[in-house]
Amino acid sequence: MSDSIQLQQRISDLLGPQGCLVAADQRQPYEKGARYGDGRSLCIARPANVEEAAELMRLCASEKIRIVAQGANTGLVGASSPDRSGLDVVLSMERIKGVIDIDPVDRVVQAYAGTRLSDLNQALRQHELCFPIDLAADPSLGGMLAANTGGARLIRYGDVRHNVLGLEALLIDPPGQRLDLTNRLRKNNTGPDWKQNFIGSGGAYGIITQAVLQVHPLPQQCATALVVPASLQAAASLLRDAERNFSDFLSAFEGISHNAMQSVLQHIPAIQAPFEPLPPYAFLIELSSARPRSADFDLEKIFGAWLEACFGDLILDAVIDKPEVLWRMRHAITDSVRQEGKVIAFDIAVPRSRLGAFRDEAIALLEHRYPGVRVFDFGHWGDGGLHFNLVLPQRLADDFPPQRIDALRQEIYDLAVHKYRGSFSAEHGVGPFNQQFYERYTVAESQALAARMQTVFDPARLLGVTRFGPAP
Amino acid sequence: MSDSIQLQQRISDLLGPQGCLVAADQRQPYEKGARYGDGRSLCIARPANVEEAAELMRLCASEKIRIVAQGANTGLVGASSPDRSGLDVVLSMERIKGVIDIDPVDRVVQAYAGTRLSDLNQALRQHELCFPIDLAADPSLGGMLAANTGGARLIRYGDVRHNVLGLEALLIDPPGQRLDLTNRLRKNNTGPDWKQNFIGSGGAYGIITQAVLQVHPLPQQCATALVVPASLQAAASLLRDAERNFSDFLSAFEGISHNAMQSVLQHIPAIQAPFEPLPPYAFLIELSSARPRSADFDLEKIFGAWLEACFGDLILDAVIDKPEVLWRMRHAITDSVRQEGKVIAFDIAVPRSRLGAFRDEAIALLEHRYPGVRVFDFGHWGDGGLHFNLVLPQRLADDFPPQRIDALRQEIYDLAVHKYRGSFSAEHGVGPFNQQFYERYTVAESQALAARMQTVFDPARLLGVTRFGPAP
């Protein structure tokens, strides 16, 4: 019996046949990531509860088997995919799920890591509460914490980190040790906030098994408009004015480029053109409030009056429509653009006051150095986030071998990170896909710290496929 | 020449006579804390800039001298006071101060750690911005980050941690190494968020020299009321109803007990009784918005209508008055209570849904076990924070030797932490004052992690007077 088969058998003995998938066709959905990541695992371990997960970790630690934690496998950087060795165990959290408790007075929910965002929100809805991290995907909570997801309503609610009150994690050293940080306090200054080390670090320091989240009153009214700014230079003034007027209830300030709009209209005939002709850029601005609409507080009325006041100076045109209509266009962009050709996706952030300047300079760089590449950008303008997605037309495929695409990517990142003090990964995390950029752009002092942190949390490097510290 | 005099001389040579205070009368204001902490230092080092601070750290590391960082010396747990050995260097950040940059579009300010909160807010006011951490004291930014201060408006703006975008810190290993984490991004998922380790850890892992903060539009209108709840059991429903109605602009929900009100009225004759007779409890509720008052958005009108609707069921009485009038009473409590006798101060948090039950049980415990002790509690009800401050009447002084006060303190903490899953230090941090409670209440796994973290950041234990890991 080979070592691999023996190990598979031991894991199967531990977790039962349902808890250990060995057949290639059963493994495959767990081995391929949503955008990047495509490997081969020893097996897919699906523990039924936290104690089984801890047992699995003890077994893997004693055998020096690497563990790649996976939630809903919706991540975009390959951080939850095994490598090609066939030696990694994928630890799927999909069976460790469910809401443990909702306290509507505390506005707190405690749930297992495998719980999907949609299921969480369904449970919260009965209490007129929501976890307002708005994403195109339906991730698990553990993945959301590990990636520190952002989304379209960060301007109002912050990222995941801002809403985590507590968590439980399993450490790999000592193997399977449960670290109970599941408190529900909003104020608790009793030493270093250990949970922060598990948020946004992509599973490198432990495996998150439970989350305690601060949740928010469900909005009872909402006003949305698609707005054409006088110019992209005016966007900063528009944003500033919107925040002054609506800082309390501004819940989205999303940017959509002409090309992105056009792509949606072309590929999804059911969506009607909001403007004729399409403007160079538009913003989806949303106000929302948990306070129901009333004569003395009507967001649509307040919003309409503001838009009118901005006309001419800051705004050239605006369409006020139902949220579901306008968000439909926004959410359709990624899929539509994919039909235009080979996509080179970016997830950049710069300080939001410089987003327009960055975009101009990045487009000029492309025109000069990579003519023919088309820009279909959109993003979270209010937070400085830009999905500066490019499309390589089919006719240019031969001119763009992989090395040239890599060079293009690096030139855009150099511009964002070095000149604009921006980020090469605003929302998606590091993972194997961004590993080389982490090494290029992270200051040496932070990487040195990461190397030392590795010895605290995972000296044998058994957790995950991302490497924050230099190899030993 | 003794070792001490030689070291003082070397520090004076490094920082200049202004940068090194040796005379006892000059040292004294830095050696005594605002509430706890009273020691003797080798000298007070006052570097003029970050480079000098780094030089000082290199000197101290090579001589194995402990460094206690100090901002405005307003902390309440003795974390910035030297011990009694006369061997610690107090590193005062008071000369490393000033705003570096304000970007009103980004709503971001970058400032040196020694900058006072009041000075920061004065600089921000020109841009109609504010850093809305509301405290009785006027701390420095470095101290605010190190303590992760909360305050009275956390319910709206979060604590300091929620508003830090970046920081710069000096490490002690390698000595004086500058760790530049001063980015201004709202979205930046490029690995572990190192800055979190310096926030709330009381200077144990490095010395914060700069802060990059997200700031907020200055409120343009405000409505405040002092509200008498139907009962403390009804307080949870009142809070929930207030959040449903005003989640967007509820900026304070503070609790004040009968005794606290009475103490203020007795000691500050200029403040008039809001109610006759005084109720058992009252809440200071504040709404505020950056949107100016207008016919279609008037917080006083909205607030008044809500209060009226709550009458009878949730509310027995209410006084609507100017913010400055009502907050004056709130802010006068600590000083007034001090005039009642010996104060035993608490800084407790429990999940806010259980705050009323905790208070009832804590009072019953005192009546049973420590009769005669009077309760003057107040606090941040909306965040679960309670300053459960007690007064020991003079006539009972002999019955309460220090050991009995210690026992009382521990019984209250046991109740809060063990039964209510609360915190022994909601806002103030650990420091030497809370060291024994940190050791008693922190789970063993976290303390073990702290011991390992010590080896990452400060293996020689040269930073600060708080100990998160067990002694080696």
DSSP string, A174-232: TEEEEEEE----S---SS--GGGGGTTSTTSS-EEEEEEEE-EEPPSEEEEEEEEES-S
Reference A11, options A79, A70, A50, A65; nearest CA is A65
Closest CA–CA distance from residue B381 to any residue of chain A (Å): 11
Reference B383, options B243, B259, B215; nearest CA is B243
Closest CA–CA distance from residue B174 to any residue of chain A (Å): 10
Query: Of A105, A301, A443, which has the smallest distance from its Cβ to B353's Cβ?
Result: A105
SS3 B364: helix
Chain B residues with CB-CB distance to A303 below 8 A: none
Domains of chain B: 3-92 (3.30.43.10), 99-217 (3.30.465.10), 221-330 (3.30.70.2190), 340-419 (3.30.70.2740)
Query: Of B180, B205, B352, which has the smallest distance from its Cβ to A105's Cβ?
Result: B352
Provide the residue count of chain B: 472
Chain B residues with CB-CB distance to A351 below 8 A: 103, 106, 108, 184-185
SS3 A134: coil
Residue contact A189–B428, C-beta within 8 A: yes
Q: Answer yes or no: are the C-beta atoms of A451 and A439 closer than 8 Å.
A: no
- ipTM of the prediction: 0.96
Beta carbons within 10 angstroms of residue B307's beta carbon: 18
Q: Answer yes or no: are the C-beta atoms of A426 and A346 closer than 8 Å.
A: no
Residue contact B248–A305, C-beta within 8 A: no
The alpha carbon of A379 is separated from its chain's Cα centroid by a whole number of angstroms, namely: 12
Q: Answer yes or no: are the C-beta atoms of A166 and A182 closer than 8 Å.
A: yes
User: How high is the pLDDT of residue A1?
Assistant: 55
| CB-count exposure of residue A342 (10 Å: 0-12, 13-18, 19+) | middle
SS3 B392: strand
A67-70 and A88-92 strand pairing: parallel
Q: Answer yes or no: are the C-beta atoms of B220 and B97 closer than 8 Å.
A: no
Chain A residues with CB-CB distance to B305 below 8 A: 296
User: How high is the pLDDT of residue A262?
Assistant: 97
Nearby residues of B104 by Cβ (< 8 Å), 6 or more positions away: A240, B127, B129
Reference B134, options B263, B254, B289; nearest CA is B254
Nearby residues of B120 by Cβ (< 8 Å), 6 or more positions away: B99, B109, B111, B131, B141
Q: Answer yes or no: are the C-beta atoms of A214 and A163 closer than 8 Å.
A: yes
Q: Which residue has the higher pLDDT, B276 or A136?
A: B276
Query: Of A302, A352, A429, which has the smallest distance from its Cβ to B296's Cβ?
Result: A302
Nearby residues of A11 by Cβ (< 8 Å), 6 or more positions away: A19, A20, A43, A45, A56, A59, A89
**Residue written as tokens 């909205």?**
B302
Chain B residues with CB-CB distance to A204 below 8 A: 192
Taking CA atoms, what residue in A is nearest to B185? A351
Taking CA atoms, what residue in A is nearest to B201? A192
Residue contact B183–A421, C-beta within 8 A: yes
For B282, list phi and psi in degrees, rounded to 5. Answer: -140, 155
CA angle B349-B352-B353, nearest 5°? Answer: 140
Amino acid at A178: R
Chain B residues with CB-CB distance to A429 below 8 A: 189-190
Distance between CA atoms of residues B415 and B408, nearest Å: 11
For A429, list phi and psi in degrees, rounded to 5. Answer: 95, -170
Taking CA atoms, what residue in A is nearest to B129? A244
Amino acid at A351: P
Give the side-chain half-sphere CA count within 13 A for B430: 25
Distance between CA atoms of residues A195 and A165, nearest Å: 9
Query: Of B187, B216, B249, which has the smallest distance from its Cβ to A150's Cβ?
Result: B187
Task: Name the DSSP class of A416.
Answer: I
Query: Of A128, A177, A291, which has the smallest distance from its Cβ to B445's Cβ?
Result: A177
* CA dist A63 → A4, A11, A42, A43, A85 (Å): 11, 11, 13, 14, 16
Amino acid at B331: H
User: How high is the pLDDT of residue A471?
Assistant: 60
Q: Residues A278-334: pLDDT tens digits?
A: 999 999 999 999 999 998 899 999 999 999 999 999 999 999 999 999 999 999 999
Q: Answer yes or no: are the C-beta atoms of B73 and B171 closer than 8 Å.
A: no
Nearby residues of B414 by Cβ (< 8 Å), 6 or more positions away: none
Given a cut of 80, whether residue B1 has pLDDT beyond it is: no
SS3 B100: strand
Residue contact A185–B423, C-beta within 8 A: yes
Return the sign of the alpha-carbon dihedral for residues A414, A420, A426, A430.
positive
Q: Answer yes or no: are the C-beta atoms of B128 and B218 closer than 8 Å.
A: yes
User: How high is the pLDDT of residue B233?
Assistant: 87
Q: Answer yes or no: are the C-beta atoms of A182 and A440 closer than 8 Å.
A: no
User: How high is the pLDDT of residue A247?
Assistant: 81
Closest CA–CA distance from residue A172 to any residue of chain B (Å): 12
SS3 B262: helix
User: How high is the pLDDT of residue A129?
Assistant: 97
Amino acid at A416: A
Chain A residues with CB-CB distance to B150 below 8 A: 187, 189
Residue of B103, B173, B186, B232 best to disrupt the A interface, most CBs of A under 10 A: B186
Taking CA atoms, what residue in B is nearest to A149? B189
Closest CA–CA distance from residue A424 to any residue of chain B (Å): 7
Q: What is the average pLDDT value for chain B, to the nearest integer? A: 95
Query: Of B298, B438, B446, which has the smallest distance from its Cβ to A179's Cβ?
Result: B446
Residue contact A352–B106, C-beta within 8 A: yes
* CA dist A380 → A139, A347, A386 (Å): 19, 10, 6
Amino acid at A302: I
Closest CA–CA distance from residue B196 to any residue of chain A (Å): 6
Nearby residues of A462 by Cβ (< 8 Å), 6 or more positions away: A60, A61, A64, A65, A66, A67, A172
Chain A residues with CB-CB distance to B177 below 8 A: 445
- Helical H runs in A286-340? 299-310, 323-338
In order along its 472 residues, chain A shows pLDDT tens digits of 578 999 999 999 999 999 999 999 999 999 999 989 999 999 999 999 999 999 999 999 999 999 999 999 999 999 999 999 999 999 999 999 999 999 999 999 999 999 999 999 999 999 999 999 988 899 999 999 999 999 899 999 999 999 999 999 999 999 999 999 999 999 999 999 999 999 999 999 999 999 999 999 999 999 999 999 999 988 999 999 999 999 889 999 999 999 999 999 999 999 999 999 999 999 999 999 999 999 889 999 999 999 999 999 999 999 999 999 999 999 999 999 999 999 999 999 999 999 999 999 999 999 999 999 999 999 999 999 999 999 999 999 999 999 999 999 999 999 999 999 999 999 999 999 999 999 999 999 999 999 999 999 999 999 999 999 876 5
Which strand (E) or helix (H) includes residue A401? none
Task: Name the DSSP class of B471.
Answer: P
User: How high is the pLDDT of residue B471?
Assistant: 61
Chain B residues with CB-CB distance to A194 below 8 A: 446, 449
Chain B residues with CB-CB distance to A445 below 8 A: 171, 177-180
Which strand (E) or helix (H) includes residue A273? none
Q: Residues B259-273: pLDDT tens digits?
A: 999 999 999 999 999
Closest CA–CA distance from residue A221 to any residue of chain B (Å): 12
Amino acid at A68: V
Q: Answer yes or no: are the C-beta atoms of A148 and A159 closer than 8 Å.
A: yes
Amino acid at B343: V
Q: Answer yes or no: are the C-beta atoms of B289 and B249 closer than 8 Å.
A: yes
Taking CA atoms, what residue in A is nearest to B427? A189
Distance between CA atoms of residues A426 and A432, nearest Å: 16
Token pair recorded at residue B397: 């002084």
Query: Of B162, B187, B468, which has the smallest distance from its Cβ to A349's Cβ?
Result: B187
Token pair recorded at residue A358: 């960055």
Q: Answer yes or no: are the C-beta atoms of B65 and B87 closer than 8 Å.
A: yes
Token pair recorded at residue B312: 């009878």
SS3 B152: coil
Distance between CA atoms of residues A469 and A356, nearest Å: 34
Reference A114, options A143, A78, A75; nearest CA is A143
Residue contact B427–A187, C-beta within 8 A: yes
Reference A381, options A250, A249, A245; nearest CA is A250
Q: Answer yes or no: are the C-beta atoms of B185 and B155 closer than 8 Å.
A: no
Chain A residues with CB-CB distance to B453 below 8 A: 192, 456
Residue contact B192–A204, C-beta within 8 A: yes
User: How high is the pLDDT of residue B68?
Assistant: 97
Q: Residues B410-458: pLDDT tens digits?
A: 999 999 999 999 999 999 999 999 999 999 999 999 999 999 999 999 9
Cis peptide before A277 (omega within 30 of 0): yes
The alpha carbon of B187 is separated from its chain's Cα centroid by a whole number of angstroms, namely: 27
For A53, list phi and psi in degrees, rounded to 5. Answer: -60, -40
Q: Residues B4-57: pLDDT tens digits?
A: 999 999 999 999 999 999 999 999 999 999 989 999 999 999 999 999 999 999
Reference A24, options A2, A6, A8, A47; nearest CA is A8
Chain B residues with CB-CB distance to A184 below 8 A: 351, 421
| Model confidence band, residue B122 (pLDDT cutoffs 50, 70, 90) | very high
Amino acid at B58: R
| pLDDT average, residue stretch B180-199 | 96
Taking CA atoms, what residue in A is nearest to B459? A452
Q: Which residues pair with B177 in a beta bridge?
A: B171
Token pair recorded at residue B98: 């000033």
Taking CA atoms, what residue in B is nearest to A382? B106
Residue of A186, A314, A457, A458 best to disrupt the B interface, most CBs of B under 10 A: A186
Taking CA atoms, what residue in B is nearest to A467? B191
Taking CA atoms, what residue in B is nearest to A164? B162
Pairs across A and B, CB distance < 8 A: 278
Which strand (E) or helix (H) includes residue B362? helix B355-369
B67-70 and A108-112 strand pairing: unpaired
Token pair recorded at residue A212: 């305690």
Nearby residues of A164 by Cβ (< 8 Å), 6 or more positions away: A145, A195, A199, A211, A212, A213, A214
Query: Of A191, A199, A305, which has the smallest distance from its Cβ to B468's Cβ?
Result: A191
Distance between CA atoms of residues B89 and A394, nearest Å: 67
Residue contact B108–A351, C-beta within 8 A: yes
Given a cut of 70, whether residue B395 has pLDDT beyond it is: yes
